[in-house]
Amino acid sequence: MSPTLASAPGGCCFSGVKHTGTPVGHVEDLGGILTYISDPPAPTQKVILFLADVWGPLFVNNKLIQDYFASCGYTVLGPDYFFGDSVMNQSDSHRQVWIDNARKPAINAFPCLARCCKRKIWEGEYQVLCWYCFGASFVMDLCSDGSVVAGALAHPAFLDESHFEKLDRPLLLSCAEEDHTFPLSSRRRAEDIMVARKSTYYFQVFSGVKHGFAVRGDPAIDIERWAKEESAKGIVSWFDRFTV
């Protein structure tokens, strides 16, 4: 077994602040999977496959993030691999059980999900993809088999050393100073592996915030609002480097 670097989601993934705003995207059924779709101002072949945290792509915070990426010139697809049963529907006492049971259906659905999302836009490769927390292993797999141009992770879970040992696409990691799921020692080990492999990578590390900051940070707290916004801006800038 490859050593674990980012553990399964825990209590820090169940908390945060619900944001306000009016999402502008829409939901479509793609191959039996409800998918949030946010369109850019002009037609494009630049696509972000938004693989959401445990709150799912239909949570208002995630809709607003997807809309932001779309406003920057990307078609954004956010498939609901929780099939309408994200963590926000779970009671406190059942959330950890839900985490344990939610991953297998998502893994089983992902190949079909990816094919349907591709057909929705065009026959070919995604230009980029992005992920927040739960879907990290999906991103790393796609960044290891040539399916995408570049990837980005924000406060990841479900990663081990082998994911970084197989990486062959540029990767951004947007990280919190305090993250029990992906702690400093793991972050440094991941960097050691990427350095040894001469990978193309970039770390954002934000002080004063915790796991989940990029999705559920409190806009009323200056450092949390700034970190959340800079994380999203940094991801767009990263993807812009590798798309035309």
Q: Which contiguous run of DSSP H or E holds residue 139?
A: helix 136-142
Contacts of residue 111, Cβ cutoff 8 Å, sequence gap at least 6:
none
Q: Which residues pair with 21 in a beta bridge?
A: none
The amino acid present at 218, given as its one-letter code, is: D
Distance (Å, whole) CA 88 – CA 63: 15
Catalytic residues: 133, 179, 211
- Tokens 């997807």 belong to residue: 66
Q: Tell me the three state secondary structure of residue 117.
A: helix
The amino acid present at 80, given as its one-letter code, is: D
- DSSP string covering 50-73: EE--TT-TTSHHHHHHHHHHHHTT
Tokens of residue 37, six digits: 């779709």
Distance (Å, whole) CA 192 – CA 143: 18
Cα-based distances in Å from 62 to 76, 177, 200: 11, 22, 27
Distance (Å, whole) CA 233 – CA 222: 16
